Amino acid sequence: MTVWRIKFSIKGRLCYLSHLDMLTVWERALRRGNIPVLYSQGFNPHMLISFGPAHAVGVEGEGEYMDIDTMQGLKEENWFAFNSCLPEGIKIFSARELEQGTPSLMQAVNIADYSLRLSEFDKTAAEKAIADFFAADEVMFERKSPKGNKLMNFRPAIKAMEIRDDNILFVRIWMTNKGTPRPFEVARLIVPEARVLGCCRDALLIENAAGELSLP
Amino acid sequence: MSEIDRIEIEKFLNEELLPSVERPAQYIGGEYNSVCKDWDNADVRMAFLFPDTYELGMSHMGMRILYEAAAVTDGVLLERSFAPLADMEAKMRALKLPLFTWESHHAVKDFDVIGFTLQYEMSYTNILNMLDLSGLNVLASEREEDAPLVIAGGPCAFNPEPLADFIDLFVIGDGEEMNIELLQCVARVKKAGGTKSDILREAMKIEGVYVPSFYNVSYNADGTIAGIEAQNGAPAVVKRRIVKDMDKAVFPTKCILPNVKAVHDRMMLEIMRGCTRGCRFCQAGIIYRPTRERSPELLLQQAIEMEKNTGYDELGLLSLSSADYNNIAWLTDALNENLNPSGVSLSLPSLRIDAFSLSLAEKVQKVRKSGLTFAPEAGSQKMRNVINKGINEEEIIRTVAAAVARGWTSVKLYFMIGLPFETDEDIIAIAELCRKVLREAKGAKPDYVTKPISISLGVSTFVPKCNTPFQWCGQIPKEEIRRRQMLLRDHIKPIRGLKLSCHDSATSYLEAAFATGDRRLGKALYLAWQKGCKFDGWTEHFRFDLWQEAFSESGLSLEWYANREKSLDEILPWSHISCGVSQKWLKNEWKKAGEEALTLDCRNHGCNGCGVCQSLGCENDFKTKLPLKDEI
Ligand code: SF4
Ligand code: SF4
The pLDDT profile of chain A, 216 residues, written as one tens digit per residue, is 899 999 999 999 999 999 999 999 999 999 999 999 999 987 778 899 999 988 888 999 999 999 999 999 999 999 999 999 999 999 999 999 999 989 999 989 999 999 999 998 999 999 999 999 999 999 999 988 888 888 999 999 999 999 999 899 999 999 987 778 999 999 999 999 999 999 999 999 999 989 899 999
Question: Does B369 or B39 have the greater pLDDT score?
Answer: B39
Domain that holds residue A42: 2-103
Residue nearest to atom 5 of ligand 2 (CA): B290
Q: Do A58 and B24 touch (CB under 8 A)?
A: yes
CA–CA min distance A21, chain B (Å): 6
Tell me the whole-structure pTM to 2 decimals: 0.94
CA–CA min distance A12, chain B (Å): 9
* B227 at interface of A, judged by CB pairs closer than 8 A: no
Report, as an integer, the average pLDDT of B78-92.
Answer: 97
- Of A91, A123, A95, A115, nearest to A193 (Cα)? A123
Which residue in chain B has the smallest CA separation from A25? B259
Q: In chain A, what are the helix, strand and coil shares in percent, each to the nearest 5?
A: 25, 35, 35
Report, as an integer, the average pLDDT of B136-152.
Answer: 96
Q: Would you identify the CATH topology of the domain B266-369+600-632?
A: Transcription Regulator spoIIAA (3.30.750)
d(CA A183, CA A186): 5
Least confident of A143-157, B139-153, B386-400: A143-157
Q: The domain spanning residue A55 has which CATH number?
A: 3.30.70.580
Q: Do B311 and A31 touch (CB under 8 A)?
A: yes
DSSP, residue by residue, B129-141: HHHHHTT--SSGG
- Contact between B577 and B237 (Cβ < 8 Å): yes
Q: The domain spanning residue A210 has which CATH number?
A: 3.30.70
Q: How confident is the model at residue B1 (pLDDT cuts 50, 70, 90)?
A: very low
Q: How far is the CA of B289 from the centre of ligand 2 (A)?
A: 7
Q: Which secondary-structure segment (H or E) carries B373?
A: strand B372-377
Residues 6 or more apart whose CB falls under 8 angstroms from that of B177 comprise B69, B241, B243, B249
d(CA B136, CA B134): 6
* B137 at interface of A, judged by CB pairs closer than 8 A: no
Considering the domain architecture, whether residues A209 and A117 belong to the same structural domain is answered as yes
At residue B456, the 3 state secondary structure works out as: strand
- Contact between B341 and B304 (Cβ < 8 Å): no
Considering the domain architecture, whether residues A99 and A116 belong to the same structural domain is answered as no
Q: In B, residues 239-258, which contact A (CB 8 Å cutoff)? A: 257
b/e B446-458 (16+ beta carbons within 10 angstroms → b)? eeeeeeebebbbb
- Of A47, A45, A52, A62, nearest to A19 (Cα)? A52
We find that the CATH architecture of domain B371-520+556-579 is 2-Layer Sandwich (3.30)
Q: Is B209 exposed, middle or buried (0-12, 13-18, 19+ CB in 10 A)?
A: buried
- CATH 3.40.50.280 is right for the domain spanning B3-239: yes
Considering the domain architecture, whether residues A70 and A116 belong to the same structural domain is answered as no
Q: Which of A13, A28, A87 sits opposite B18 (nearest CB)?
A: A13
Q: How far is the CA of B605 from the centre of ligand 1 (A)?
A: 16
- Contact between A68 and A76 (Cβ < 8 Å): no
**C-alpha R_g of chain B:** 25
- Contact between B615 and B579 (Cβ < 8 Å): no
- Contact between B84 and B56 (Cβ < 8 Å): no
Helices and strands per DSSP (H, E), number in chain A: 5, 11
d(CA B97, CA B77): 23
- Contact between B123 and B161 (Cβ < 8 Å): no
B239: number of Cβ within 10 Å: 17
Considering the domain architecture, whether residues A9 and A48 belong to the same structural domain is answered as yes
Query: Best substitution site from B273, B276, B281, B282 to test ligand 1's pocket, by max atoms within 8 Å of Cβ?
Result: B282
Report, as an integer, the average pLDDT of B75-89.
Answer: 97
Q: In chain B, what are the helix, strand and coil shares in percent, each to the nearest 5?
A: 40, 15, 45
Q: How confident is the model at residue B631 (pLDDT cuts 50, 70, 90)?
A: low
> Roughly what angle, to the nearest 10 degrees, separates helices B296-310 and A19-32?
120
Return the amino acid letter for B387: I
Q: How far is the CA of B465 from the centre of ligand 1 (A)?
A: 14
Task: Look at residues A103, A134, A157 and tell me which one is the last residue of a structural domain.
Answer: A103
Check pLDDT > 80 for residue B108: yes
d(CA A74, CA B41): 43
Q: What is the pLDDT of residue B577?
A: 97
Considering the domain architecture, whether residues A75 and A162 belong to the same structural domain is answered as no
Q: What is the pLDDT of residue A177?
A: 76
Percent of chain B topping pLDDT 70: 98
Q: Which residues of A touch B260 (CB under 8 A)?
A: 17-18, 21
Q: Which of A28, A85, A87 sits opposite B312 (nearest CB)?
A: A28
Q: Do B260 and A29 touch (CB under 8 A)?
A: no
Ligand 2 lining (C-beta closer than 6 Å): B 276, 289-290, 602, 607-613, 620
- Contact between B314 and B267 (Cβ < 8 Å): yes
Q: Do A18 and B25 touch (CB under 8 A)?
A: yes
Q: Which of B261, B313, B367 sits opposite A21 (nearest CB)?
A: B261
Q: What is the pLDDT of residue B228?
A: 97
Considering the domain architecture, whether residues A98 and A125 belong to the same structural domain is answered as no
Q: How confident is the model at residue B341 (pLDDT cuts 50, 70, 90)?
A: low
Task: Look at residues A103, A120, A142 and tell me which one is the last residue of a structural domain.
Answer: A103
* A41 at interface of B, judged by CB pairs closer than 8 A: no
Return the amino acid letter for B474: G
pLDDT tens track for B438-450: 999 988 888 888 8
Distances from the Cα of B12 to the Cα of B19, B20, B227, B289, angstroms: 10, 11, 51, 47
Considering its fold, how many domains does chain A have in total? 2
- Contact between A57 and B24 (Cβ < 8 Å): yes
B285 lines ligand 1 (CB under 6 A): yes
* A32 at interface of B, judged by CB pairs closer than 8 A: yes
Task: Look at residues A103, A130, A157 and tell me which one is the last residue of a structural domain.
Answer: A103
CA–CA min distance A214, chain B (Å): 32
At residue B269, the 3 state secondary structure works out as: strand
**DSSP state for residue B16 in the 8-state scheme:** I
Q: What is the pLDDT of residue B2?
A: 42
Question: Does B281 or B540 have the greater pLDDT score?
Answer: B281
B10: number of Cβ within 10 Å: 14
**Which residue, among A13, A27, A30, would best test binding to B if mutated, counting the most B CBs under 10 Å from its CB?**
A13
Task: Give the residue extent of every domain in chain B.
Answer: 3-239, 266-369+600-632, 371-520+556-579
Rounded mean pLDDT of chain B? Answer: 93
- Examine domains B266-369+600-632 and B371-520+556-579 and report if their fold is the same: yes
Return the amino acid letter for B119: Q
At residue B216, the 3 state secondary structure works out as: strand
Q: What is the pLDDT of residue A127?
A: 94
> Roughly what angle, to the nearest 10 degrees, separates helices B478-492 and B505-516?
140
pLDDT tens track for B527-579: 999 999 999 999 889 999 999 999 999 999 999 999 999 999 999 999 999 99
